Structure 1
Amino acid sequence: MTGSFGFLQPFTSPYYAASGLDKAQIGLLAGLGTVIAVLIQPLLGRLSDRLDARRPLMVATALLAGVAYLLFRLADGFWPFLLLTALGTNGLQYLNTVGGVLVGRLATTEGGGAAYAKYRVWGSVGYICVCVVTGFLLSPSPGMSRTDLAPVFTYGPLLFFLIAAISLIVPDTKLAPSSSVPLRSEERAIAGGGRRLSGGGRGLKHFFFAYFLYQFALYGASSYLSLFMKSLGAAPRQISLMFAAGVVCEVLVMSQVGKWTDRNGRKPALVLAFCLMPVRLLLYTLATSPATVMAIQALHGLNYGIVGTLAVVYVNDCVTDSQRGTTQAMMTATSGIALSVSPALCGWLAERYGFSAMFVAMSAVGVLGALYLITRVPESNPPAPKTG
């Protein structure tokens, strides 16, 4: 599933721009499409928990996303793109959420961080492959007309039909009858390998707010990285390589961070990622060429490589198995609310004041998120006491 972002993230905004939309319209389009998805995702989470099954919804949402993105080639104007973006985003968000739920169920004997990281690394490998292949399907020249970008939405959406087929054989472990009963604290400590979970409901609320600020800042600004690269004279191939390079660094971090935080706690790694993100956004204001942006993008490994893994794991630390579908949907909704507003705001800032002003503003939001995480968010997986 993550591989599908390899064609969507680099080239959706340039495709909107090639279709005649300005940066403010692109941001509004992304925001409204996400709002619609936010309203539907918690309902899908509750439905999957009630059915105690993810597979049927995985197939349905994958097919929905595939059809929606294939129809991008026929869309013309703001409203058709809004409808298709909302449909595609719903499919993507559900598939992204359900991955964390299924891995949490399958990894009953392993540390949660290590288990989820192993799953997520393969998603990143898929992203790199799709991103690079998509770039080489396009013209090496800087031009990015709708015709130039047509192969993206001709071949890329076919991935969703493959995802639907694979979903038919994905393990969909049922809950044991007793697993719907919340565990007492001492039982949760045993289930967590001797570690006492301290997040709880209040801790989750604080985490969700910090996560909201993080997502608001990073992904509002990241929505315009392709257009920023284009403004610096980048060709489509350079844009795809820029995103792929960041994910290569992500894989290197992700392969270790889950295991490390199983032993040492989640919060230290989260603090590192939250503090580095505002620095990364400020560095974009100094970029003068596509190569400079590509170098800065290497910091993505310490952002999504950590947060993309540990956000799901943190939530799994704090809830019982029967609550994971609903709670992961709540986290997806939190991200969705951020992405409903931030692209529109960033688009307005970029259109009116330029890309540098946008990056500075989002860096300030990122600083607030880091401070809130440090001061208010509890550790969900305290290290086991050292003996002897």
Structure 2
Amino acid sequence: MGIRDIDRRILALAFARMADAMGNSFLIIVLPLYIASGVVSGGTFGLAPALITGIILSMFGFFNSAIQPFAGNLSDRSGRRKIFVIAGLLLLTVANFTYTVVGSYAAVLLIRVAQGVGVALTVPATVALVNELSADADRGSAMGIFNTFRMVGFGLGPVVAGGVVAGGPYEFLGASITGFESAFYVATVSSLVGAVLVHVLVSDPEPEELGEEAGEDLSIAILDREREGKLLDPVFTLGVASVFMAVGIALLEPLATHINATLGQNATWFGIEFAAFVLAQVLFQAPIGAWSDEYGRKPFILAGLLLLVPTTLAQGFVTTPAGMVVARFLQGVAGAAVFAPAMALAGDIAKGRSSGTTLSVLTMAFGLGVAIGPLSAGYLAGFSLPFGTSYAAPFVFGAVLALLGFLLVYSQVDETVHRGRSGERSEAEPAAAD
């Protein structure tokens, strides 16, 4: 399925997610610089400034992950996705703007919490809509196209943000606007544009589009009591594997200083290395999603997790900037092979209105891994190994997690797409996730 064939509502959601992701990724660059610039002051709750900065940056991921299952469940019970998406984007709009009028650590911490809540409201309802608006035979392609747009926004944000901050102050209607304020305004407008796009172009699916209704029990299962020989629920298993994958992906950023010193590179090279992962995601998400519709979900998920092992490990052992770029690009290919097929497989399992609850397991898991990754990298970087670079330990840890994820998916997840003797694609009847 190409972009021209996709439901226009899915395309609108993809554009909205791209705008929102660009605004949010602005803060990856801007927020640490903003806190370190001296603009933020006041009490630090008795903690060192560096520690409170780390807590502020991590708070988004933890609140985002913790609230997503509840938000997904509520959207299932209400049967209304659109209102959750718009509410989350509007909350992000207000939060992004509020950075420009506060100056204390406590206020910045509260804004970061609000951003986490906003994304938690938006993401499960958005992916549930994509799942419900896509046909069974095209679900992987729809997920791939949707996430491609998200990664385009995510990749553009940090690139543009650095230029916006460095180019300030700006004169606008006779007023002077700092680079930081300008960046927050861009993030504000981005989330507002996303909300407007969803309001104008997206509608909730009609009851007949949903198929069977969700059951009364919309809880998240951990153990599998229905499939013989299986211990863990397949969606929960995919969630665990997603945590492991996200941890490995997020190890690089907090080690920037060590990596630059070891590889003898500057910040520009580090930016290229960071972007290499995003570029691979943009190039491979859509085609791999489409291939998973044709050839099955599980082979791509397994191949991606297996490829994550050497590509994550290599980042702790390469000795040149070019080597790091290659490792990050291949890690991006591995991530693309996991993400869209895993979302599509979970979507195959989610029937009727249970999409929000079921898919929130994966979105929550990825957000949790992104929050855990930098913390584990900072902690493990202090452990020296008898081989490799001084910061190799975090990447060894990430590679081990990817291998565990591979083993879990291999043993606990069943394929949902099969071909009959005629060679025609058919949907399996997977065990219900709830």
Match of 2:353 among 322, 327, 332: 322
AA aligned to 1:308 is F
228 and 155 in structure 1: CA distance in 2 versus 1, 3 angstrom threshold = farther
Please give the alpha-carbon distance, in whole angstroms, between the structure 2 residues aligned to 1:95 and 1:308.
Answer: 18
Alignment of 1:340-355 (within 5 A): 340-350=371-381, 355=391
Whether 2:93 is the aligned partner of 1:66: answer: yes
Q: Secondary structure at the match of 1:156?
A: helix
Superposed displacement of residue 159, structure 1: 1.0
Give 5+ residue unaligned stretches, structure 2. Answer: 1-16, 41-47, 168-177, 216-229, 385-389, 425-434
Whether 2:62 is the aligned partner of 1:35: answer: yes
Please give the alpha-carbon distance, in whole angstroms, between the structure 2 residues aligned to 1:128 and 1:249.
Answer: 11
**Equivalent residues, number:** 365
AA aligned to 1:367 is L
39 and 182 in structure 1: CA distance in 2 versus 1, 3 angstrom threshold = closer
User: Who is 2:266 aligned against?
Assistant: 234
Q: Which has the larger radius of gyration?
A: 2
Alignment of 1:74-93 (within 5 A): 79-93=106-120
Match of 2:159 among 110, 132, 142: 132
Of the two structures, which has the highest relative contact order with CA contacts closer than 8 Å and spacing of 6 or more?
A: 1
Q: Is the 2:23–2:190 contact (alpha carbons within 8 Å) kept by the matching residues of 1?
A: yes
User: Who is 1:214 aligned against?
Assistant: 245
Q: Secondary structure at the match of 2:201?
A: coil
AA aligned to 2:395 is F
Larger helix percent: 1
User: Who is 2:393 aligned against?
Assistant: 357
Give 5+ residue unaligned stretches, structure 1. Answer: 141-146, 184-198
Match of 2:410 among 346, 349, 374: 374
Please give the alpha-carbon distance, in whole angstroms, between the structure 2 residues aligned to 1:336 and 1:301.
Answer: 17
Choose 130-139 or 51-60, whichever is displaced more.
130-139
AA aligned to 1:377 is V
- Taking only the aligned residue pairs, the percentage that are identical comes to 21
Q: Secondary structure at the match of 1:174?
A: coil
User: Who is 1:255 aligned against?
Assistant: 286
241 and 138 in structure 1: CA distance in 2 versus 1, 3 angstrom threshold = farther
Q: Is the 1:116–1:309 contact (alpha carbons within 8 Å) kept by the matching residues of 2?
A: yes
AA aligned to 1:301 is G
Alignment of 1:97-116 (within 5 A): 97-108=124-135, 110-116=137-143
Superposed displacement of residue 359, structure 1: 2.3
* Aligned-residue RMSD, C-alpha: 3.6
Q: Is the 1:135–1:240 contact (alpha carbons within 8 Å) kept by the matching residues of 2?
A: no
Whether 2:139 is the aligned partner of 1:120: answer: no
AA aligned to 1:356 is A
223 and 204 in structure 1: CA distance in 2 versus 1, 3 angstrom threshold = same
Q: Is the 2:67–2:120 contact (alpha carbons within 8 Å) kept by the matching residues of 1?
A: no
User: Who is 1:267 aligned against?
Assistant: 298
Whether 2:38 is the aligned partner of 1:7: answer: no
Superposed displacement of residue 317, structure 1: 0.9
Name the TM-score, length of structure 1 as normaliser: 0.79
